[in-house]
Amino acid sequence: MPMQITYVSPSWPETTYEIESDRFGNYTIRAAGRVIKRVTSVSDYLGRPKWGSKKLESNAIEDAKAAIAKFRSPFG
């Protein structure tokens, strides 16, 4: 089950973003029902946890927040 949070960026306080991440480091950013950005992590690497990890999931959320901070407009 993916982790979902609602986030309001200091850069764009008028826009509410929904960030969804999974245990493998993939994430999706949505605003106003539209997918703004979708990132897929590396699918296979040495030492990759078979079932993913909470650390990858929380790092994906932080990566999504950093991506939102770099947006040039509220919708990417």
Model confidence over 18-64: pLDDT tens digits? 999 999 899 999 999 999 999 998 777 777 778 888 998 999 999 99
Strands (E), the chain: 3-8, 16-21, 27-31, 34-39
67 pLDDT band (50/70/90 cuts)? very high
Confidence (pLDDT) at 21: 96
Note the pTM of the prediction, 2 decimals. 0.87
Q: Are 36 and 27 in contact (CB under 8 A)?
A: no
For the chain, domain boundaries: 3-69
